Structure 1
Amino acid sequence: MKIAFATHYDILNRHTWHRKMIGHCGTNYYKALALAKQCESLEYIGPLKENYSPIYKYIFKTKNRWHKHFTKQVYQPWAEKIVNQSYASQIYQKLLDINPHIVLCPDINLASYLECKQPVIVWTDSSYAGLMNFYPDQTNLCKDTLEQLIAMDKLTYDKCSYAIFSSDWAAQKVIDIYQVDPSKVKVIPSGANVECNRTLEDIKEIVDARPSNQCKLLFLGVDWYRKGGDIALEVASELQKTGLNVELTIVGCQPFQNDSYPYFVVNPGFINKSTEEGLNKINKLIAESHFIIVPSRAEAYGNVFCEANSFGVPCISTNVGGIPTIIKDTLNGKVFSLNASISDYCNYIYNIFLTYSEYKKLALSSFNEYQNRLNWTVATQTAKELFMDLI
């Protein structure tokens, strides 16, 4: 089986990944590496160029200024039809040379205007409709952008053989909003975006190395508010007041000015996962932590939770978006409702940590969830079975 894997950027060159897109690019990178082991040949298509008249760039800039200063709405030039028709044309030309059995697009816009003889599969975290008025940067969109995103959603789900999503939430959104045939909508949880050859014995050693006299919490996220950084900070502060020795490490953002953060907070700021040094730093921080706490207000999926489980670290988050597909209460952490009180979080952490033998059981169970459900080998094996049905 030969698969063409299309991205608008160079998926194999981490240095070309934009800071805001590192998580998304990383997901597609690890997905591609795992797929390559499952199929006869994986052919990469990308990077793609902006092959359209320069006049359109002027038009896009003018539209952007208009909406920014007059309508006060968000305009997204990448959603313009001409941009994505250009991408589709380039992909089509590559397909003539590659002649694959299947075309896989991890981004909806790449499939929307693509016409080819091969079955087209989209494998992503969410539809555009699922993100609208959910993510802050997908709120208050202008009419043009709204119409273009919805049009791309519809075109893609009409033509694709399968629409694969990482969560039950995303899959159900597509069925509910667009009345897509449920038989073509599939759920395959994404894996951890880490290289992992750890065994259960390795995890036991990692868990045993964590201090039992200090509860180490880790917040990972570039977007402080959307990821619930303020909630994580409140939880750590209240736990400290109960007498529990707590350390909260904040990675990805710097919410405090002039280093004026509380004494129990460690804030190394943004660490670039696209470098080996940065990846090693983050992996070390995860391995040393007792819990990942990322109580997101909006989240399409959350690969960080899978990564945490790969180190035997339980996860604490919210019952929103795709998170409940990953985190199963009593197995690899706990999800709370968006209106849960700080004391709800604190009681859970306090009770688990003070019964440290129960914490260790939860940590090992978290690794078991990673091994059985939340890794790219399992995900791509499941996908391969779907792909084989098409050819």
Structure 2
Amino acid sequence: LISRDYAYQVARKLSILKSDIVLATEGVQTVAYLKCQQPIVLWLDTLTIALVDYYPALSNICQETRKSIYNIEKAAIDKCKLLIFTSDWAAENAVKHYQVNESKIYVIPRGANIELKPGRTFEEVENIVKSRKEKPCKLIFSGIDWDRKGGDIAVGVVKQLNEMGFNAELTIIGCQPQIKPLPDFIKIVGYIDKSKPEGESKMRQLVADSHLMILPTREDCAPNVLIEANAFGVPCLTTDLAGIPTVIKEDINGKTFAFDAEIKEYCDYIISRMSDYPRYQKLAMSSFNEYQQRLNWDVVGKTAKQLFMDLL
């Protein structure tokens, strides 16, 4: 009933607006039962069906709910001329669960959701990377859901690094975990409101000052913070799951670790890269290059625009 009401509201708007395409970016409910002349495009991180029994909130749901999810998503997909996903994993799930024709699917990672100076140059980011002192190694964790994002693993990594005699610090953004006792090498910043200029400025500075982002997430689709880190020449250490490998490429803009990787594996990688600082700097600039070539909204927008034009 809700999806049908959404469709009615959208149809009313379309009757008084001149639009060439209907683009849905926040789920399928608005278009599942929509009747219109314009081609419909879905642009999503993933379909909900892929999250069933993956995210805790969508585990142990009844068969009726599963059927409802399937029917609504199937109706929306059948109406669409184009499906854009932010990762190969999401695209593969669309084919697996709904047998979508691959010719209807296109993968475009999202851009960084942080304001950056227009026309940012390679030299500017190179100066940011060069301004980072070799020691201590500064790690940054950014996530609101401490447990789901693997915050405890990040803490375990920085603790073990210091126990191994490798000087490292961890800055935690987005949450206020209870870490007792709190070591001197861990700094908890908490939530930063990027919608405010002072919050965005603080976020930019904290990321730019860091050597590496660490996000050993347990459940995710394609976290945007990884892209934001790359925008500042910060490589990312994260988990090889879901859509993350579409964003983070091995030793190009970071590294993905197995879900059950030992803390020592993270430590060994960090030490190997940071002990050869020119090698680290090369990885940092390669990370920015990934942002510049495929993980920014200018590139994303141009790619999407061409796909939209091809529908008309």
Question: When the two structures are superposed, what TM-score results if normalisation uses the length of structure 1?
Answer: 0.77
Match of residue 111 from structure 1: 31
Deviation at 1:164, TM superposition (A): 0.6
Q: Is the Cα contact below 8 Å between 2:28 and 2:73 reproduced in 1?
A: yes
Structure 1 residue 256 corresponds to structure 2 residue 175: no
| Whole-Å separation in 1 of the counterparts to 2:54 and 2:174 | 21
SS of the residue 1:108 aligns to: coil
Of 51, 65, 70, 1:150 maps to 70
Q: Per-residue deviation at 1:381?
A: 1.0
Whole-angstrom distance in 2 between the partners of 1:233 and 1:114 = 48
In structure 2, the partner of 1:84 is: 3
Q: Give the corresponding residue for 2:49.
A: 129
Equivalent in 222, 232, 239 of residue 301 of structure 1: 222
1:140 aligns with 2:50: no
Q: Could you tell me how far apart the structure 2 residues matched to 1:145 and 1:376 are?
A: 35
How far is 1:145 from its partner? Answer: 3.1
| Alignment gaps of 5+ in structure 2 | none
For 1:97, the equivalent position in structure 2 comes to 16
- The question of 1:367 aligning with 2:295 is answered no
2:124 equivalent to 1:214 = no
Task: Identify the residue that residue 389 of structure 1 maps to in structure 2.
Answer: 310
Contact 2:135 2:168 survives alignment (8 Å): no
- RMSD (Å) for aligned C-alpha atoms: 1.3
Alignment partner, residue 228 of structure 1: 150
**One-letter amino acid of the structure 2 residue matched with residue 325 of structure 1:** T
Secondary structure of 2:264's counterpart equals helix
Amino acid at match of 1:245: N
Cα deviation 1:9-32 (Å, max 9, x = unaligned)? xxxxxxxxxxxxxxxxxxxxxxxx
Deviation at 1:140, TM superposition (A): 2.4
Amino acid at match of 2:255: K
Residue of structure 2 equivalent to 1:273:
194
Q: 2:270 aligns with which of 320, 343, 349?
A: 349
Q: Give CA-to-partner distance per residue, 1:138-190, whole Å, 9 cap, x none.
A: 22224443232222211111110011100000000110111111111111111
In structure 1, what is the Cα distance between the partners aligned to 2:6 and 2:169? 47
1:190-212 deviations in Å (ceiling 9; x for gaps): 11112223211111111122121
Structure 1 CA distance, aligned partners of 2:196 and 2:225? 17
The DSSP-based 3-state class of the residue aligned with 2:198 is: helix
Q: Is the 8 A contact 2:169 2:186 kept in 1?
A: yes
Of all paired residues, the percent bearing the same amino acid is 47
For the pair 1:190 / 2:110, whether they are aligned, the reply is yes
Q: State how far apart, in whole Å, the 2-side matches of 1:253 and 1:148 are.
A: 34
Counterpart residue identity of residue 171, structure 1: A
User: Residues 129 and 281 of structure 2 are in contact (CA less than 8 Å); yes or no, is this contact kept in structure 1?
Assistant: yes
Q: Is the 8 A contact 2:235 2:287 kept in 1?
A: yes
Structure 2 distance, partners of 1:296, 1:87, is 34
Deviation, 1:87, is 1.6
Match of 1:247 in 2: 169
What do the CA deviations read for 1:313-343 (whole angstroms, capped 9, x no partner)?
A: 0000011010000000111000011111111
Q: Deviations over 1:43-76 (max 9, x none)?
A: xxxxxxxxxxxxxxxxxxxxxxxxxxxxxxxxxx
Secondary structure (helix, strand or coil) at the match of 2:31 reads helix
- Give, in whole Å, the separation in 1 of the partners of 2:216 and 2:249: 15
The answer to whether 1:332 aligns with 2:280 is no
Considering fraction of residues, name the structure with more helix: 1
Match status 1:358 vs 2:284: no
TM-score of the superposed pair, with normalisation by structure 2: 0.96
- Between 273-282 and 155-164, report the one with greater CA deviation: 273-282
